[in-house]
Structure 1
């Protein structure tokens, strides 16, 4: 249910909660030895590996990712040598854990790598880790439809890649020119046909609302094309225009951007159209077909969330490689240097390229569990939280209970209390502003001004 008044009331700045605490709480002064000790994991736990490929051949004006725009393919060769050494160093402290059930290549543009460079990267990974494709594995890669070949896809499929994410953003040519990312509907269609022929059965489209020159009419036409192509998942992201932080965005004329009212209307349109087309609303701005594993996980209460977004593999220890990559392991976050020169110097000096990190307290762990339950399941089992952590919820979260009351009064939340259970559930009108509900339990929110609007 779309309630415009409630959405406008609660549309404040806030985190996306791919972690708790969020990256803004990471500490650059924390002792490296403490983080390295936390990264030593048990041999029984499977791994999720993330590789950040920062290179892009083209500059997209809307982009806020950590990236290097270049046409020089040799830069990737040098980067792969650094990655190989980082993989070797981290493999030494993982206590013989090497079974990988989730693998993701992000960027930048992973398909900036040539086929031979990708072969080298896989050879590095396979030297130190075992890619387990025997069961419910999730191996994914983000691709730029302007920079991918059939040979790329053949290699990726042969290595177990079973999910592809395509940055569509918008199909309207005027919008594409304004954001410096021109890619035709025909290109995407041909790519989709290729992926289906290669037995890629999970394809995700990324869309962005709030881009220059977007209107209800042209975005509706984009949605027509998206629905016709039948991707398995669709993410509809909010464009946050922050030119003071991200230099490429200064090339976008702010006068061409939709106003706040139109942005909400664009999101409402996308939500309605995708639901009418048979997609399930996973949470926030993510949608999936009913047969998708994310939907199954949500129905079974197994849906989780990490730096890759909604996932069915969050029980794994996440190890990040490359410039700016983040690891999430043993109640600690460890982030690599975001500056390429600092990253390179650390590796060449035989050191892990750690820039900062965070070790969770018991309070963080409790709040993380609450936030993840809310953002993934739209439900909080308070009785289970009390039993698991030995707390009295209304005493431990006395201030939070007071802050929740206006949301209960607005019909966003419902309290369900019986003789056997005590739960808090999010109503249909609260789904779009779930991040605001989570923010009530966020003890690190003085930094909220650094975030974009929740919608």
Structure 2
């Protein structure tokens, strides 16, 4: 059924920093790019299960989002926890792309090639590792297989490493239909850059951003990371000023999770060079304050956007959505994902390709789907996913809207969760007037902890399988 838009109170402060609350609730928890989260995916989900989910998706006839994982990187960034292949051999790109197109044909036959591709994203790895002729071959192939859109409402985005951009790269991407980019920056401080093996002068980043603007790219995003070696509140404040001067439309400010026991490249980062937990909190606090002062809106967790950016507009109108690429305005798109380790999504299932590149290649060469794990969603999963999505995207949950969506009484269905939420209400993280559950300014930074209250898989509380909330 059609539901009324949920409008955020624009007069409320974006957030309140309360150190006592942060100390109490800063445990570990999911980032909720999916629900159930990826730790619930299991190996008893087979390619046949994914095929059945895709066929059910096709029956809906709605638009789709197309994600492509391009794993190659010419350089190793020591902080990185992504699934990647470090190589200088650009000739690896074409065979990988040819296999992507074989996989695309298989999935299009299942999902429905006629469905409009409203959102498209190249992630990695380093997508701009691909030579320009290989980029063209990939998009031309997609154009033959899928119903790619050309209108202004499309979101076709690509992750950019400014070190992997030459004078024709952005023009090529624009020609291929991309209209949004995200630039990896992390920090402009040279000492920090050397410590993480990512030397990238500010002038390089600024030149790419300015050229992107000249060509017409919109909603340009910059990624920053706090908690890297040699960062201090003072040094990161200088980085932030440089970034504000560049004036990106969006900013993602991620917390670095130092887990060298899980991610081998991080063993090259010395523990004694990292900022202390207290310094990290100071960096985050200062960063949020400065970005708000600079006119950015706090979208949630680690994302900021200018007031006229589509993310900020969507949040004010109650139609912001979250998926594996983060916050998005396209809530109605099932996710067709291609490439090694890529995760796809339908209304009632998640499924992931093999992480191992040779194994993924072997499956595609054999004409088989490379899915090795996933999960089918129960009705309860889907309902809780909607609730968590409302909280993490809109910072509020309307009982009447819930009733209209799920034909369930909210208070009866979540009696246990509401009882456990009392202490959060007492602490001022949320306010419940009996009609709307509203996240308060002091709760916005701790939204992951609030969402966990509705996560049936996390009822035991914090888990070391996830990063800390702050």
TM range (shorter): over 0.9
Q: Distance in 1 between matches of 2:105 and 2:238?
A: 48
1:41-440 map, 5 Å:
41-42=58-59, 44-417=61-434, 422-440=435-453
Deviates most, 382-391 or 346-355? 382-391
1:30 is matched with 45
- Number of residue pairs the alignment of both structures matches: 451
Q: Distance in 1 between matches of 2:111 and 2:448?
A: 34
SS in 2 for 1:449: coil
Q: Distance in 2 between matches of 1:254 and 1:7?
A: 24
Structure 1: 5+ residue stretches without partners = none
Contact 1:107 1:142 in 2 (8 A): yes
TM-score (ref. length: structure 2):
0.94
Residue 43 of structure 1: how far off its partner (Å): 6.6
Contact 2:77 2:197 in 1 (8 A): yes
**CA deviation map 1:96-151 (0-9, x unaligned):** 43311110000000000011110111111111012212241101000100011231
2:17 is matched with 2
SS in 1 for 2:168: helix
Q: Distance in 1 between matches of 2:266 and 2:192?
A: 14
CA change 1:131–1:449 in 2 (3 A) is: same
Q: Distance in 2 between matches of 1:387 and 1:314?
A: 18
Q: Distance in 2 between matches of 1:225 and 1:385?
A: 43
SS in 2 for 1:13: coil
**CA deviation map 1:267-302 (0-9, x unaligned):** 111101100000011111100001101111111111
**CA deviation map 1:193-213 (0-9, x unaligned):** 211111112210000011111
2:4 is matched with none
**CA deviation map 1:80-106 (0-9, x unaligned):** 121111011111112343311110000
Contact 1:171 1:184 in 2 (8 A): yes
State the superposition RMSD in angstroms. Answer: 1.2
Is residue 448 of structure 1 aligned with residue 463 of structure 2? yes
**CA deviation map 1:143-199 (0-9, x unaligned):** 100011231111111122111100110011111111110100111111122111111
Q: Distance in 2 between matches of 1:386 and 1:137?
A: 31
Q: Distance in 1 between matches of 2:222 and 2:203?
A: 15
SS in 2 for 1:384: helix
Residue 63 of structure 1: how far off its partner (Å): 0.2
Contact 1:43 1:97 in 2 (8 A): no
Contact 2:136 2:176 in 1 (8 A): no
Residue 5 of structure 1: how far off its partner (Å): 1.3
Contact 1:98 1:128 in 2 (8 A): no
Structure 2: 5+ residue stretches without partners = 1-15
Q: Distance in 2 between matches of 1:149 and 1:50?
A: 24
Q: Distance in 1 between matches of 2:211 and 2:428?
A: 46
Q: Distance in 1 between matches of 2:119 and 2:312?
A: 18
TM-score (ref. length: structure 1):
0.97
